[in-house]
Amino acid sequence: MNIGIVTVRDETYHPTRRLTEAAGSRGHRVMLIHPYRRWPVIAGGTPMIAGNKFGERPDVVLPRQGAQIGRSCMVLLSHLRLMGIPLVNGPEAIRLASNQFLTLQALAAAGIPVPDTLYINAAGGRHRAGDHLGDFPVVVKEISGRQGSGVSLAKSDAELNRVVRTRLQETRGLLLQKFIPTAGRRDIRALVIGGRVAGAMLLRPPAGDFRANFHLGANAAVRTLTDLETGFAVAAARAVGLDIAGVDLIVDAQGRIYVIEVNYAPGFKGLEQATGIDIAGLMVDYAAAVAGQDVMQA
């Protein structure tokens, strides 16, 4: 089976390397599809792909470009689906997941608890933060970010003004979010594949930081989820429409659970190290099953 991976990275990038290894061990072949070196074509009413050495047609595609996915890549994904190639995940779900506030909207609509969040697209909007988010500090997030980038903590009104002034783009907006203190807090990353939690880890922020991201130096340990945590993780992936999802949860000091982010192309190096689970293999197996189901339905 040919498994396509949409990515701007090469074979040395950890997720790509691990997925290639897992696919090869199962007799599959990985095809890397660079979104800016492959071009959708409609010729004679038939959709196809142009680009040097595109090679054989993939049987299934895993979009893995990440949070900075652009509009042209979204066009490519829609085109691949038009060609009848199953995608894990689909364009609509990726469009939601690549925008953090659209993700929070989908979660809230599904009754899933999220932190109080204010979306602003003009500097004047920051004056409403106190009305809805309480006292400082306030978390400031860019609409799209990866591995903790684009996230900062404003500890005063002057600092918030400075961050908004330097980082706000009116066409994209910024998120201002209620801060959940790190004392007594548990940060959890759960990976959902096909409606089930494949594995989870507890992340502890490094000293002096409030962000619990593995790539920023957070300590990771295996986590056995409670039934409620499992339910929220699976429901969050479903609410956004993702087959494969990295779901970030926070449990505060009072035991209240919040879903803070849902990632459509989650990294899994830390999760594999913490749990010993072959996450790449589970992803490949799921993609192969989706492709097999598609063939049977056809």
Q: Are residues 141 and 205 in the same domain?
A: no
pLDDT at 104: 98
Give residue-wise pLDDT tens across range 114-157. 999 999 999 888 888 888 898 899 999 999 865 556 888 999 99
Q: What is the pLDDT of residue 190?
A: 97
Most confident among 89-98, 120-129, 166-175 (mean pLDDT): 89-98
**Per the domain annotation, does 269 fall within a domain?**
no
Q: Is residue 103 part of a domain?
A: no
pLDDT above 90 for 246: yes
Do residues 147 and 82 both lie within one domain? no
Burial of residue 55 (number of CB atoms within 10 Å: 0-12, 13-18, 19+): middle
Give the Cα separation of 165 and 157 in Å (integer): 12
First-last CA distance in the chain? 16
Q: What is the CATH number of the domain that holds 168?
A: 3.30.1490.20
Task: Tell me what pLDDT residue 129 has.
Answer: 85
pLDDT, residue 3, reads 96
Q: What is the mean pLDDT of residues 241-255?
A: 97
Residue 255's domain is classified under what CATH number?
3.30.470.20
Please list the residues that pair with 220 across neighbouring strands: 203
Please tell me the total count of domains within the chain.
Answer: 3
Instruction: Give the burial string for 2-37 (b: 16+ CB within 10 Å, else e).
Output: bbbbbbbbeeeeebbebbbbbbeeeebebbbbbbee
Query: 27 with 63, same domain?
Result: yes
The answer to the question of residue 35 being in a domain is: yes
The verdict on residue 12 lying in a domain is yes
Percent of the chain with pLDDT over 90: 74
d(CA 145, CA 31): 26
**pLDDT over threshold 70, residue 107:** yes
* One domain for residues 160 and 200: no
**54, part of any domain:** yes
Are 80 and 121 in the same domain?
no
pLDDT of residue 127: 86
pLDDT band at 160 (very low <50, low <70, confident <90, very high): very high
Are 253 and 287 in the same domain? no
pLDDT of residue 128: 85
The pLDDT-based confidence of 295 (bands split at 50, 70, 90) is very low
Q: What pLDDT was estimated at residue 66? A: 78
What's the mean pLDDT in 66-84? 90
Determine the pLDDT at residue 220: 83
Once rounded to an integer, what is the mean pLDDT over residues 28-41?
93
**Is the distance from CB of 84 to CB of 17 less than 8 angstroms?**
no
Q: Average pLDDT in the 263-273 region? A: 94
If you average pLDDT over every residue of the chain, what do you get?
90
Residue 221 lies in a domain: yes
Q: Which pLDDT does position 200 carry in this prediction?
A: 97
Same domain, 201 and 159: no
Whether 174 is in a domain gets the answer yes
Residue 297 has pLDDT above 50, yes or no: no
pLDDT in tens, 202-240: 998 776 666 666 555 567 899 999 999 999 999 999 999
What residue numbers bound the domain in which 67 lies? 2-96+281-297
The pairs formed by 211-218 with CB atoms below 8 angstroms and a separation of 24 or more are: 211/148, 211/151, 212/187, 213/147, 213/148, 214/147, 214/189, 214/267, 214/269, 214/270, 215/147, 215/148, 215/267, 215/270, 216/147, 216/148, 218/187, 218/270
The answer to whether residues 186 and 173 belong to one domain is no
Tell me if 245 is assigned to some domain: yes
Does residue 57 sit in the same domain as residue 81?
A: yes
User: Rounded distance, CA 107 to CA 104, Å?
Assistant: 5
Question: Does one domain contain both 128 and 201?
Answer: no
Regarding whether 92 and 24 lie in a shared domain, the answer is yes
